[in-house]
């Protein structure tokens, strides 16, 4: 296994972070990895909004929970109503990934950029967690999100990733589900 494959294989979602901020050069390397993702039609339609201010990160947590309080799925509703849960896990750095609306496949492109950033973070020993929980907020309160988090006009926010130095690492590997490959 080469180093890149090892990093992908052993990466885990990190949900416990140390409070200190990651280094600026590490942040730049993460962003650059996102910028170099593949994109349909080479649109490169992503926009990254970097939150390092604790108050802004806490606001995103609270806004997301508020938006998910009446969600139809019980698991999500329980997360929203769990006062002790910080849905961004108190990470010191959060990136919102938004896509340009006039691109061919902006959501897919943003997912590729997001995954690139997760892998880049892991390669530097930095923890990360992809946060889909924000979806209720992003879909049902888009105008407010655009304004509050300064998302550029003509974009849609899709994903959020929490980043930070790891406070703890879960069990190394999760078993893979069988039957996910067909060879013809």
Ligand X SMILES: Cc1cc2nc3c(=O)[nH]c(=O)nc-3n(C[C@H](O)[C@H](O)[C@H](O)COP(=O)(O)O)c2cc1C
Structure-block tokens of residue 136: 């209720």
Please identify, using beta-carbon distances, which residue of 153 and 178 lies nearer to ligand X: 178
User: Which residue from 151, 148, 161, 160 is spatially nearest to 56, judged by alpha carbons?
Assistant: 148
Angle at CA of residue 85, ends 82 and 89, nearest 5°: 160
Q: Which stretch binds ligand X (CB under 6 A): 19-27, 98-106, 126-134, 142-150?
A: 126-134
Note whether 163 and 125 are within 8 A (CB).
Answer: no
Q: CA-to-CA distance for 29 and 101, rounded, in angstroms?
A: 26
Determine the size of the site formed for ligand X (CB under 6 A). 9
Q: Which residue has the tokens 């180093």?
A: 3
Ranked by CB distance to ligand X, the top (closest) residue is 132
Among 12, 16, 59, 77, binds ligand X (CB under 6 A): 12
Q: Does the footprint of ligand X cover residue 71 (CB under 6 A)?
A: no
Residues numbered 129 to 168 that lie near ligand X (CB under 6 A) are 129-133
Q: Is 67 an interacting residue with respect to ligand X (CB under 6 A)?
A: no
* List 55, 174, 181, 184, residue binding ligand X (CB under 6 A): 174
- Asked if 13 is part of the footprint of ligand X (rule: CB under 6 A), the reply reads yes
Strands (DSSP E) found in 21-142? 46-51, 93-100, 126-131
Q: Using CB under 6 A as the criterion, which residues of the chain lie in contact with ligand X when the complex forms? A: 12-13, 15, 129-133, 174
């Amino acid at each position: 296994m080469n180093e890149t494959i090892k990093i992908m294989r052993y990466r885990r979602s990190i949900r416990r972070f140390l409070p200190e901020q990651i280094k600026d050069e590490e942040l730049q390397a993460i962003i650059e990895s996102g910028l170099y993702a593949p994109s349909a039609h080479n649109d490169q339609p992503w926009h990254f909004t970097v939150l390092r201010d604790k108050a802004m990160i806490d606001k995103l947590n609270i806004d997301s929970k508020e938006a998910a309080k009446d969600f139809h799925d019980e698991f999500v509703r329980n997360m929203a109503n769990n006062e002790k849960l910080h849905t961004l896990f108190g990470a010191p750095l959060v990136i919102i990934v938004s896509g340009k609306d006039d691109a061919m496949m902006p959501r897919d492109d943003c997912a590729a950029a997001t995954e690139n950033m997760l892998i880049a973070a892991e390669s530097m020993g930095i923890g990360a967690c992809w946060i889909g929980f924000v979806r209720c907020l992003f879909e049902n309160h888009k105008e407010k999100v655009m304004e509050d988090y300064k998302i550029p006009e003509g974009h849609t926010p899709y994903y959020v990733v929490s980043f930070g130095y790891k406070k703890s690492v879960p069990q190394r590997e999760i078993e893979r589900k069988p039957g996910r490959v067909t060879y013809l």
